Amino acid sequence: MSSSTTLYQRAQEIDSIATSSLLSQANTSLSQALSHALENSAANGVPPITVSPLQGQYLAIQAQLINAKNILEVGLLGGYSTLWFLSAGAHVTSLEIHPHHRDVALQNLKHAGYEEGKDFEIILAPALDSLPRLLKEQQGGKRGKFDLIFIDADWSQQYDYFQHAVQLARPNGCIYIDNVVRNILEGSDSEAFQSGRKETLPVKVGKDDRVRATLVSVVSSHKGDERETFDGFLLAVVKG
């Protein structure tokens, strides 16, 4: 491969083969719900920045691997990743700041047959306001610890979200932070990285004795933009 364009084309080929092969036996009702969510979100102007189908499948598998029954999602968007978590049999609490995104997600989740309250909960407020309240509810015995916490929101606040997530997750609970590599390449972490200070999210998390973590790099053509081919997520487990 002599250029990034060639690499991007290869990524497209791999994504296509993997998606058709690994998701071909997906539950029909789930497939229909996911397709509707993408179409309805696009029709209502929700930004097309959700996880890819393969990443959604990964999230559902991760939830199954740890038998997650109580999941926290920071960043709801149109509810696409929420549907994947619900398909794994978990109850999902989603934090969202935009009323319009909340409304569209409600449409998508209810269209799939899920019930608000019973299957999922949406909290409309800035996440950094909601997260401390969730912790107080846990401390007061009104809410249980989360098995898995998925962070897919404002890149500049990833570390703040992480700090709250460690307190909200159960021992051996999982924390997944999306778009960490892109944040290093072009987001709020890029200046520190390029200046040599290296105080990026992985460095900060690596100093935290409460977790064991890794960075998983991803090459994908999902977003349809060659500049977004390279990304990666941080996966951490809270020590028991």
Q: Which of 10-19, 115-124, 217-226 has the highest mean pLDDT?
A: 115-124
The pLDDT of residue 186 is 74
Question: What pLDDT score was predicted for residue 15?
Answer: 84
pLDDT at 196 over 80: no
Number of residues in the chain: 240
In a domain, 144, yes or no: yes
Q: Give which of 127, 148, 130 is closest to 236, Cα–Cα.
A: 148
* Domain annotation covers residue 200: no
Q: Are 66 and 94 in contact (CB under 8 A)?
A: no
**Interval 206-227: pLDDT, tens:** 999 999 999 998 877 666 666 6
* pLDDT of the residue at 197: 61
Estimate to the nearest angstrom the gap between the alpha carbon of 231 and the chain centroid. 13
- pLDDT higher for 223 or 177? 177
pLDDT tens sequence across 42-91: 999 999 999 999 999 999 999 999 999 999 999 999 999 999 999 999 99
Which tokens is 49 given? 């920045």
Quote the CA–CA distance of 185 and 9 in Å, as a whole number: 21
Residue 202 lies in a domain: no
Within-domain flag for 64:
yes
Given pLDDT bands bounded at 50, 70 and 90, which one contains residue 1?
A: very low
Does the pTM surpass 0.85? The reply is yes
Q: What CATH number does the domain containing 99 carry?
A: 3.40.50.150
The SS3 call for residue 69 is coil
Let me know if residue 188 belongs to a domain. Answer: no
Domain count, the chain: 1
Burial 161-173 (b: 16+ CB within 10 A, else e): bbebbbebbbeeb
Judge whether 39 lies within some domain.
Answer: yes
Strands (DSSP E) contained in 60-189 are 70-74, 91-96, 120-124, 146-151, 169-177
Please name the residue that has the structure tokens 């179409």.
39
Residue range(s) defining the domain that contains residue 57: 7-173
